[in-house]
Amino acid sequence: MTRPDPGLAHGWCALTALHGRIEAHVERALQAEHELSVREFSVLDVLSDQHDGDGGHFRMNQLADAVVLSQSATTRLVTRLEDRGLLARYLCPTDRRGIYTNVTPDGLALLERARPTNDRALAEALDSAEQRPELAPLVTAVRTLSRPAPAPAG
């Protein structure tokens, strides 16, 4: 039996380490300045991008997929945000079994105040991680992915 490639396992460990470092740093900043968790920020951010109006809406299962949480964890998270007046739930007008989640004006206002904090903390976490040789290539990849692709020639 052949052994799996140890480089693959090392790469996976580095990726999880980078994710953990970034998430912890961003979490501390969002909590300290806005009383908002990374997951709460993600939910507000995802919903705000759905259309150009006062925020977007998703069915609960779509939202769970978008923020990579179980449906039960997403429901608990949405309930907390709804209790704070940042989200609202309503029945789908075409399917009475479906429940949509929508960002409220207060949720959009908090998101707009929190975005600079999120961006700053993310940049700080990447700068710090870049100093570690095992994480530097991943930081380069993240920064490369965040740049717009060049326009096709022609």
Task: Return per-residue pLDDT of the chain as tens, 154 residues.
Answer: 677 778 888 899 999 999 999 999 999 999 999 999 999 999 999 999 875 555 557 888 889 999 999 999 999 999 999 999 999 998 877 777 788 888 999 999 999 999 999 999 999 999 999 999 999 999 999 999 987 766 666 5
Sorted by sequence, the CB contacts under 8 Å of residue 129 that are 6+ apart come out as: 18, 21, 22, 135, 136, 138, 139
As a whole number of angstroms, the distance between CA 51 and CA 136 comes to 36
Evaluate whether 4 touches 81 at the Cβ level (below 8 Å).
no
Q: Where are the domains positioned within the chain? A: 19-136
pTM for the predicted model, two decimal places: 0.85
CATH architecture label of 19-136? Orthogonal Bundle (1.10)
